[in-house]
Structure 1
Amino acid sequence: MAAQPDARQIIAKIRDGRPATAEELGWFAQGLASGAVSDAQAGAFAMAVLLKGLGEEGRVALTRAMRDSGKTMVWHLEDPVVDKHSTGGIGDCVSLLLAPALACCGAAVPMISGRGLGHTGGTLDKLEAIPGFRTGLSEDQFRAQVAEIGCAIVAASAELAPADRRLYAIRDISGTVESIDLITASILSKKLAAGLEALVLDVKCGSGAFMASLDEAEALARALVATAQGAGCMTSALITDMSQPLATAAGNALEVIEVMETLTGTSVNSALWDLTADLGGEVLALAGLAADPADGAARIAEAMESGQAAECFGRMVAAQGGPADFVERWPDRLPSAPVVMEAPALEDGYVAAIDGRALGHAVAHLGGGRLRDGDRINPAVGLSDLAGIGEETGAGVPLAMVHATSIDAAQAAVRAVQAAYRVGAAMPEEPPLVLKRIG
């Protein structure tokens, strides 16, 4: 009879560069979920994986094991079940546009999203800027809403991928967040537990992303795509530019305003529109709802242009506790900050570069993000009217508008914005939105 796996032996194997078996990784994931694996053992495991890696087979096995450490959802719907995941950036509010647009194109979208992490904003925080919006639905409510409306955007329940919840907390305090194997297993275990048939990944690259270089972003994208496909989910990835904010706003209510302006045609942000269409086109093609990504992108664009996506978004908001008239009266329904101040450029020229991470931290220090676990978020604060790379500016011309709770907080944010922008004499070339496709 085979010996029972042992945490110390598994850690030692990975530490020594030997492959762990699927059975061993499965046992370890169950131990993370049940508490049989101690915090010290979990930290040692994470460090061994960071230093030596798991290899492709091991990465797939760990992802499956973490997926299966808790409840996995099975859907009995006529429409294919799809989702999108972004690795995080500044002004990235694509999910709010994409979920209803996909639903209008015949997909079922049970989108399980997260909160802000570090300098990046979170989809759940943005939606909770809408008064009354609930992200914590019961499974029955979640299933009923996806069946009726076609989409729901919710927080992960404690029953989905509990091994990831435990390991994620350990990684955060043990200096092992950067491991591609652990990032991949963390992202995909939750997505695959949701019972997806197709997934598109938006892997951000640049100053506002966790992966600053194209090589780093490509390594992560390839690991994610290979692992998801190895676990049985049709997946592709777009590596997209995050050398500047995607939207012209960064902050929860301010980004919802930009989403509503785009959905209703009041003032369309072309970068948001184009990336939403590109990502949606990918997943519609993967799910068999479009002939190819270009056909799918055209369908997503039509759903937004016709107003169908805005109508679907309004139904989702109402179903999750928000105002029933949100699409018609969103300017009156969203909170606003008491202090609005210009952040002027200090010299003449063109915007040559933007430190997106610094802008994200500026929003967090205004109260729009968490500086430590448990912090409350003020949905009204943030930055709007952000100047983009290549824009002409001049001394005294606003680079952004700061939305704050006090004059002191606004002045500190003005200084942070000015430090985050580099102005040059020559007009730089604006970077392309989509850098590479993987899949």
Structure 2
Amino acid sequence: MRPPTRYAKSAGGYVAYQVFGEGARDILFVTHWGTNLDAMWDEPALAHFFHRLSRNGRVICYDKRGTGVSDPVPLASLPTLESWMDDARLALDAAGSRQAAVIGDTEGGPMAMLLAATHPERVEKLVLLNTFARWRRDEDYPIGMPEPSVEKLVQLYQRHWGQHPAMLALTAPGLAGDARVEEWFTRYQRLSMPPGAATQMYRWVTLMDVRSVLPTISVPTLVLHRSDNRHYRLPFGQYLAEHITGARLVELPGTDCYPLFTPQADDVLEEISAFLSGAPVEASVDRELSTVLFTDIVGSTDLAARLGDAQWLDLRAAHDDVVRRHLAAFRGREVKTTGDGFLATFDGPARAVQCAALIRDSVRSLGVEIRAGLHTGEIELLDGDIGGIAVHLAARIMGVAGAGEVLVSRTLTDLVVGSGITFEDRGVHELKGIPGPRQVSRVVRVP
């Protein structure tokens, strides 16, 4: 049976979603970025996979904005990891789900990790299936793919997307050569998105880096990975299990991972069923991943002395009003005022940077310059206040900033890849009270 496709409206457009199955548990399935809710049911084996999954509870699937039957997005402004996380929350809300087990499959994994870390109260358990925290090789990530290999893969997508099933040889060699599957696979690609968008999206996927998110995931986590997977290689899964506290790695034999309806899919379903049916574990909700923003009026003491008490208080009130209006517009949460500035948190790093830049530009009309510092990390929720190293780090980064500067940590720049925000390297700094040198960047442009 093909479930009905419904739409949920967001500020960025309509998100298509489906709900099928029944039970006390909700399961949010987040997979590869090239999907089509309607077309996926045309393949009987894939439909069988989802019907078997629905024996574990009510399944929620959705097309991310820019793909499938959800609203399109401009080619020059593809969605970010943060906006796709918003789509997941929108689908949960529209389906009436307060909490769900989340399955992050292949390229859907990084978004699922970000969702679990940022909103632990919405995620009961987390399954990471043949996925990764980072794709490309780096000095501190030797398991990543070298640059030339990544470029060859991007070119492969560009040449063959929607025209030739070349990627099956990498992601599901057990299905390669099956004419019926190959025909469905290429048609499914065309119905997911056009080749130009697919190429840009794939390149963006290879630039993602959510390694900093892993230690902040507190929900029970199962990592499933094919031992001979050539595309999403086993060391990717091993890395996830090593860096997520309490995560359990299960290495499954075989090579095939995408599409999901490979002949080896039964062992995936069995492992997921066993994990989901296990005793529930109470996740900590007093810690979460947030982007922390500190702002400060530059030269406030001299400005107050020059204006006098009455005018200074009026100026402060106008400044505070501007800040609060922008915080509300970007879903920021005011924690407290800090003398001549603000401490606020955001559930998305790109939103936080955009808000900080807009605050800086807006208060200039008042004759005021501010400086700002931002960092994304785990915070402790303390009866209306927040604590933790992430808070201290954001404060110290602000301390490095000059008048009119918005400075951010390396962690934050990694999480906003594809957002259109550009940065300038401000070098490595020893920040008071923070162990080790930290790379700091200045925000140059926001979209």
TM-score, normalised to structure 2, is 0.23
Higher fraction of strand: 2
Larger Rg: 2
TM-score, normalised to structure 1, is 0.23
- Relative contact order (alpha carbons < 8 A, sep ≥ 6): 1 or 2 greater? 1
